[in-house]
């Protein structure tokens, strides 16, 4: 740990990537908690990953238009399915979301079963490669997020179908950027840390936890020589736990 400073040349783009992801995920995560559909993000993220690996098997590179379109189509199909099940079977929605995740994960393993690089590709989709995000990919994703945030502010989130579409688009873009695990962690952990607070204060605290989690996780990943994605997940969890515990201790009797 001779060089304890933050290496901006190595970690600048990854940190900016994390902040861009946090910008949308804290909003969506708080709404997910309100709706009581905690694992929707994990399910749609896994379906988007299934679309990505299927595109790869068909010969469409992940950075190609066809590759992105396949992942987006898979995520939107999952969102449409879950919007339909929420209308017809709301009492078992969480169970259906869990089933969708298991089926999508199993299907992805089957698609990659005969691929000699399948295990490596699946690991990349799950844990992400945040250290190797290209600036061009980041700016493209940031533009997608900007459209999502505008639609969110315009009130599209108030409609079930609109919420699911915005969620699917965001999660699809995020999975290709940081992986399934970080998508889930960024959506849920800051939201849990700020749960129960009024909207403005809750968002500010959620953004603070998310930003700090990415910054600290990236910084520690260099001297510890740990993979950045899983380490950021663990740091986010630790920060969320500390913040929640601190809020409980400081809460007036």
In tens, the pLDDT along 20-51 reads: 999 999 999 998 888 777 778 788 888 888 88
The confidence score (pLDDT) of residue 2 equals 45
Question: 214: which residues sit within 8 A by CB, 6+ positions away?
Answer: 14, 15, 18, 19, 21, 22, 232, 236
- Three-state secondary structure call for residue 159: coil
Over residues 127-155, mean pLDDT: 89
User: Are 80 and 70 a contacting pair, CB within 8 Å?
Assistant: no
Percent of the chain residues topping a pLDDT of 70:
94
Q: Which of 211, 7, 228, 40 is CA-nearest to residue 124?
A: 228
Residue 1, pLDDT > 70, answer no
Q: CA–CA separation, 235 vs 241, rounded Å?
A: 10
In the chain, what percentage of residues exceed pLDDT 90? Answer: 36
Q: Is the pLDDT of residue 3 over 60?
A: no
Rounded to two decimals, what is the model's pTM? 0.84
pLDDT tens, position by position, 191-211:
999 988 898 899 999 999 999
Segment 45-59 mean pLDDT: 83
Cβ contact 187:29 at 8 Å:
yes
> Half-sphere exposure of 124 toward its Cβ, with a 13 Å CA cutoff?
15
Residue 211: count of CB within 10 angstroms of its CB: 17
């Amino acid at each position: 740990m001779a060089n304890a400073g933050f290496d901006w040349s190595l970690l600048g783009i990854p940190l900016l990537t994390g902040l861009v992801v946090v910008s949308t995920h804290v909003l969506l995560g708080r709404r997910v908690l309100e709706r009581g559909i905690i694992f929707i993000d994990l399910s749609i993220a896994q379906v988007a990953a299934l679309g990505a690996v299927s595109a790869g098997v068909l010969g469409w590179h992940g950075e190609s238009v066809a590759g992105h379109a396949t992942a987006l189509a898979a995520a939107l199909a999952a969102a449409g399915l879950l919007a339909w099940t929420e209308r017809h079977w709301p009492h078992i929605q969480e169970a259906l979301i869990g089933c969708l995740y298991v089926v999508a994960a199993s299907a992805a393993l089957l698609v990659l079963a005969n691929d000699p690089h399948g295990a490596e590709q699946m690991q990349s989709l799950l844990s992400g490669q945040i250290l190797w995000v290209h600036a061009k990919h980041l700016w493209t994703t940031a533009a997608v997020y900007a459209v999502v945030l505008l639609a969110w502010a315009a009130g599209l989130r108030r409609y079930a179908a609109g919420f699911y579409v915005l969620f699917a688009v965001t999660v699809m873009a995020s999975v290709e950027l940081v992986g399934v695990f970080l998508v889930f962690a960024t959506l849920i952990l800051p939201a849990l840390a700020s749960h129960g607070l009024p909207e403005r204060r809750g968002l500010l605290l959620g953004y603070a936890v998310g930003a700090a989690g990415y910054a600290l996780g990236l910084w520690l990943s260099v001297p510890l020589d740990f993979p950045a994605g899983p380490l950021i997940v663990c740091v986010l969890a630790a920060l969320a736990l500390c913040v929640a515990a601190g809020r409980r201790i400081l809460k007036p009797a």
